Amino acid sequence: MSRHSSAREAREPVDPRGMHLRLDPSVCDGVGICSHLAPDLVAVDTWGYPIIATVPLTEKADRRQAEAAVTGCPRKALSIS
């Protein structure tokens, strides 16, 4: 992502109609990095697998955390939709 697009996204309001952090459990290895990058959106179970919040990403802070978790996932098991 370029600096220009990041600045543009920071000015745009987050669409409250249903953007969510999504997990593909068949890809996840339970590393747990996502819970450190998005502590308000991701918890982990006793085995280290993520438990994703089901609330829409309505605040910019939520969206930034979700994007950090998606980018930081070593297995690319997370997405935003």
Q: pTM for this one?
A: 0.76
Count of domains forming the chain: 1
Residue 26: the pLDDT is: 97
pLDDT tens digits, 49-69: 999 999 999 899 999 999 999
79 membership: H or E segment, kind and range: strand 78-80
CATH number of the domain at 30, please: 3.30.70.20
Characterize the bridge pairing of strands 42-44 and 50-52: antiparallel
Residue 72 CA to residue 29 CA, distance in Å, equals 13
Residue 18: the pLDDT is: 76
Domain span holding position 75: 3-80
pLDDT tens digits, 11-53: 445 455 679 999 999 999 999 999 999 999 999 999 999 999 9
